[in-house]
Structure 1
Amino acid sequence: MGALFGKKKQPESRITEQDKAVLQLKQQRDKLKQYQRKIEQNLEKERVVAKQLLKDGKKDKAMLLLKKKRYQEQLLKNTDGQLDNLEKMVDEIEFAQIEMKVVEGLKAGNESLKKMHQVMSLEDVEKIMDETREGIEYQNEIDDLLSGRLTDEDEAAILEELNEITAAEEAAIPDLPSVPTDNLPEIQKEEKREKNREAEMVPAS
């Protein structure tokens, strides 16, 4: 019963180590961008404050604030380089993932080809190709005949073959006995006399 009502097996996660690395890099990139925006806002405020300090005659404080501003500008420049590195690394990992999928596809394709080669050998392919070639040639011959593309030599050969077949058929028919014609008038007279006798024997109505 425990096996029946136990926990269902969770589906295997498809998130790879590369996916986790890309996610972490993107998170770091977003944090750097937030940091850059914060520094830029501070720089703008400190520039306004430095102008006001100079107006108030507080040159030393204005100088100190400008030094701080200069340092933050260098930090901002450094973050630009770090962002570039992060973007490049993300692109490289994502491209490597694409390459991996391509390699996996090639591997699957090679396995399929191997199985197909096991099912059909080179001899089978050559036999099929030969049969196909013969079938095409035979069909072309039929097409030539049907389209009337025959040379004079072909026509003569066909006529000769037809005459040979006709002669062979006539030779195979047996000779029938001829009907005698010498006594034909006498036979006709006898048939006429017989008809007259039959007419005389029929009583008149």
Structure 2
Amino acid sequence: MGQLFAKKKPVSRITEQDKAVLKLKQTRDKLKQYQKKIVVNQAKERILAKQLLDQGRKDKALRLLKKKKFQDSLLDKTDVQLDNLDKLVQDIEFAQVEIQVVEGLKGGNEALDALHQIMSLDDVEKIMGDTEDAIAYQNEIDDLMAGGAGVEQPDEDELLAELGELLGDEAEQELPDVPVSDMDLPVAPTHELEKTKSRDDPRTLVAS
């Protein structure tokens, strides 16, 4: 009975790549601590070498300086190793990202394939055709509801011409009537006036 209600052991999500990255980072941290220790020792031995020179113990001071040169070479080597470790960590982490991208693309392609199986091109064409038929049917209903089914729509040019005629009739109706007088008006001459040779006296103008 106890086995039936026993809790399942949780599945670890830590991959082998994660373990490798963690180990590389731990090694990197140890190298940095090693470098720090060397730098601290060099500072102390530099002070000691100066004291030995002041005491006239030149041989021991030279040995400390030689040791410092050797430690400098160790620091250079550890710098190269740290660069290699950092590059390896970055390569592994980037490879993990690439794996996630590939898995995402794979899942997306599978989802698209499933959708394509649900709806084929024939289904899409049928839906589009049914939609066009429904729209055309609705347009016919709208025409019937508006009372315009089967009625020929008037030409716009004819409507504009008729509107112009209406405006012309209104303008004629608004013009005032001209009064007619019983007075006899002089008759305008129908012949041309002829000028005399003298241009100074206007009274020389005579009728021909």
Instruction: Identify the residue that residue 70 of structure 2 maps to in structure 1.
Output: 71
CA 1:154/1:3 → structure 2, altered by over 3 Å: closer, same or farther?
A: same
Root mean square deviation of aligned Cα: 2.6
Instruction: Identify the residue that residue 3 of structure 1 maps to in structure 2.
Output: 3
Letter in 2 for 1:4: L
1:154 to partner: Cα distance:
3.7
Instruction: Identify the residue that residue 37 of structure 2 maps to in structure 1.
Output: 38
TM-score by length of 1: 0.64
Deviations, residues 94-135 of structure 1 (Å, cap 9, x unaligned)? 111111111111111111111111111111123334445666
For structure 2, the 5+ residue unaligned runs are 143-151, 156-208
Letter in 2 for 1:73: D
How many Å separate the matches in 2 of 1:82 and 1:4?
Answer: 53
Instruction: Identify the residue that residue 114 of structure 2 maps to in structure 1.
Output: 115
For structure 1, the 5+ residue unaligned runs are 144-152, 157-205
Q: Which deviates the most, 133-142 or 106-115?
A: 133-142
Letter in 1 for 2:26: Q
Instruction: Identify the residue that residue 194 of structure 1 maps to in structure 2.
Output: none
TM-score by length of 2: 0.63
Deviations, residues 53-109 of structure 1 (Å, cap 9, x unaligned)? 111111111111111111011101111111111111111111111111111111111
Greater helix proportion: 1
Instruction: Identify the residue that residue 200 of structure 1 maps to in structure 2.
Output: none
How many Å separate the matches in 2 of 1:72 and 1:105?
Answer: 49
CA 1:28/1:139 → structure 2, altered by over 3 Å: closer, same or farther?
A: farther
How many Å separate the matches in 2 of 1:66 and 1:9?
Answer: 63
Instruction: Identify the residue that residue 18 of structure 1 maps to in structure 2.
Output: 17
Highest relative contact order (Cα 8 Å, sep 6+), 1 or 2? 1
1:51 to partner: Cα distance:
1.1
Secondary structure in 2 aligned to 1:13?
coil
